[in-house]
A and B are shown apart, each in its own frame.
Chain A
């Protein structure tokens, strides 16, 4: 079992719709979770981080964390063609050191 799992997609949504991206993790002791966006041929860049159960909103993005279910999600409202990219979920492991593990990513396509 991979430590962080995501559906590889592609996930296609029409422009203006809500895109919902999901992620599960296996290390129950993980404390910090991140969503990175990666455009084709570029490096990953952080768009959201979340540490507590519940929702965290930043502009059009909302991250949701449910530690009991070991589930993290990212909602993108009013999706734009410029949101088309691969979205990587990451978890920081438990313990004294800070191993950061990524899922394989979900490719999002926003159709104009």
Chain B
């Protein structure tokens, strides 16, 4: 399998612009997670889906952030409008989670810089 695929790898944009990050999970995985990583706050969980349904979006910082998973093979994280404090590395991870098992497989991340 190709692993979790994220795009774009790098994004530089100006404040106020819309940003869309994309993720293709590993085929057959039933959970998808979006994380944001900064030096100050570490790896923060933004939202996660189970079988394409959003389960917990309490980590989404504000209404400017939205995420969708229209099918089992695709998810987007959108920021509109973007702000400099949104600059971070955004990771998507997928997993097939049983009761006790379940490794998160991470994509390579999307590094976002908002000027």
Q: Which residues of A contact B (CB under 8 A)?
A: 31-32, 34, 36, 42-46, 49, 51, 88, 90, 92, 97-105
- A44 and B43 CA atoms in complex are apart in Å by 10
Residues in chain B near residue A90, CB distance under 8 A: 104
Residues in chain A near residue B101, CB distance under 8 A: 32, 49
List the B residue with the shortest CB-CB distance to A8.
B42
Q: Which residues of B contact A (CB under 8 A)?
A: 31, 33, 35, 41-43, 45, 48, 50, 55-56, 91, 95, 97, 99-104, 106-109
By the criterion CB–CB under 8 Å, are B56 and A49 in contact? no
- A13 and B110 CA atoms in complex are apart in Å by 32
Not counting A97-B50, A98-B50, A100-B104, a sample of 18 additional A-B residue pairs whose C-beta atoms are within 8 angstroms of each other reads: A34-B103, A42-B108, A43-B106, A44-B106, A49-B101, A49-B103, A92-B102, A97-B56, A98-B97, A98-B102, A99-B48, A99-B55, A100-B48, A100-B95, A102-B43, A103-B42, A104-B42, A105-B42
- A88 and B41 CA atoms in complex are apart in Å by 13
Min distance, Cβ A22 to any Cβ of chain B, angstroms: 16
By the criterion CB–CB under 8 Å, are A45 and B106 in contact? yes
By the criterion CB–CB under 8 Å, are A99 and B42 in contact? no
- CB within 8 A of B108: which of A43, A49, A99, A101? A43
User: How many A-B contacts if CB must be within 8 Å?
Assistant: 58
Min distance, Cβ B91 to any Cβ of chain A, angstroms: 6
Min distance, Cβ A105 to any Cβ of chain B, angstroms: 6
Residues in chain A near residue B91, CB distance under 8 A: 43-44
By the criterion CB–CB under 8 Å, are B42 and A46 in contact? no
List the A residue with the shortest CB-CB distance to B43.
A102
**Nearest 7 interchain pairs by C-beta:** A104-B42, A43-B106, A102-B43, A98-B97, A51-B100, A46-B103, A97-B55
